[in-house]
């Protein structure tokens, strides 16, 4: 599943993502796409196809999810297991 498919499935709604962090820990995050309220200006220093920037609702900050380690998405009552 790529970024465009995820954006189409999720839209602008809240969703949960389960993925493996860089240190090997499995993490579940409640997040949202398209949040611009907390941006500080400037441009991203990277734009890789395998990384997706989301807004973490609980930590109130932006986080990056590695699409290669994404295990599960849950949005709009649908659960999609990727691995």
Residue 11 belongs to a domain: yes
Number of domains observed in the structure of the chain: 1
Return the bridge partners of 56, or none.
31, 61
pTM over 0.75, yes/no: yes
Q: 72 lies in which domain range? A: 3-37+48-81
Distances (CA, A) of 62 to 56, 70, 77, 79: 6, 17, 24, 23
Residues of the chain by 3-state class (helix, strand, coil), percent to 5? 15, 45, 45
**pLDDT tens, position by position, 8-60:** 999 889 999 999 999 999 999 999 998 888 777 777 777 788 899 999 999 99
Task: Confirm whether 42 is domain-assigned.
Answer: no
Structural domain contains residue 23: yes
- 14, part of any domain: yes
């Amino acid at each position: 599943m790529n970024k465009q498919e995820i954006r189409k499935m999720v839209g602008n709604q809240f969703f949960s993502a389960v993925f493996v962090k860089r240190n090997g820990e499995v993490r579940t995050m409640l997040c949202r796409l398209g949040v611009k309220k907390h941006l500080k200006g400037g441009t991203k220093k990277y734009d890789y196809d395998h990384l997706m920037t989301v807004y973490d609702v609980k930590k109130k900050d932006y986080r990056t999810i590695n699409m290669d380690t994404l295990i599960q998405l849950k949005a709009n009552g649908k659960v999609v297991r990727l691995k």
